[in-house]
Amino acid sequence: MALELVCPLEGCEATCSGETEDDILAQAEAHAADAHPDLTLDDDTVETLKAGIEEV
């Protein structure tokens, strides 16, 4: 099962793809550090990211 997450921030078209939720979240964390350094990955933000993960 392939999973995908499109960055939820307006104007950002980045996509994370992987086989597990952990793969996606690791990629999302790296993307946030690089492209959105002011973003804090607190529990609420992580839950928002998890909710955006879809099967493709």
**Residues 40-53: pLDDT tens digits?**
999 999 999 999 99
Pairing type for strands 15-18 and 54-55 reads unpaired
Does residue 54 contact residue 15 with C-beta atoms inside 8 Å?
no
Does residue 8 contact residue 49 with C-beta atoms inside 8 Å?
yes
> What's the predicted TM-score (pTM) here?
0.90
Checking if the pLDDT of 1 tops 80, the result is no
What share of the chain has pLDDT > 70, as a percent? Answer: 100
